[in-house]
Structure 1
């Protein structure tokens, strides 16, 4: 990924991920977080695993991020944008839709 592309991914990621590392860690420890998303073979959901990686990325210095980190950041940006476009009608406060987004570092109520 070129430095220019990395800059765009960095900006998009930090614009869309609106939970701090501490907030995201606290969220990931809750049962609501663990129950949201697609689970493979009864294990951890994809979004929950992504949330743990997002915490690590948020705590890293920009210069310490690898190409793989930027690829994950790009995946996070794409997921959040797609998921926001699928907002269900009605109150989403306690919805799987919101919980899934929060696993990916974005609280649509924030």
Structure 2
């Protein structure tokens, strides 16, 4: 069992949980819907994609920080980079397209969900 995690993994954990605003159950349900795309849960052996990344996010959301692997830290950083890139380049407000939101939701970030208020 991993008793300590690296500083990079710690930072990735914090950023990941700041940006991923869906629970593992919400994300899994989303990935199983038609709206998330035909390849929501691709067949084994099919190439990687956002949906495969989403499945990894579901797994990570179900873990405790001390149970993270180096691979999990890489996935968390990939998700952080993906979400930040999408949030930095949204479609124009009048054309806020459903595909953009669905791409974000497929890795656990619903851009329409209000941010939690800090007390």
TM-score, normalised to structure 1, is: 0.85
- Partner residue of 1:54? 57
Q: Aligned equivalents of 1:36 and 1:85: distance in 2? A: 25
- Partner residue of 1:33? 36
TM-superposed deviation, 1:4: 1.5
Bigger radius of gyration among the two: 2
For the structure 1 residues 100 and 35, does the alpha-carbon distance in structure 2 shift closer, same or farther, using more than 3 Å as the test? farther
Unaligned runs of 5+ residues in structure 2 are 114-119
RMSD: 2.2
Q: Report the number of matched residues.
A: 104
Matched, 1:23 2:26: yes
TM-score, normalised to structure 2, is: 0.79
Q: Aligned equivalents of 2:10 and 2:75: distance in 1? A: 14
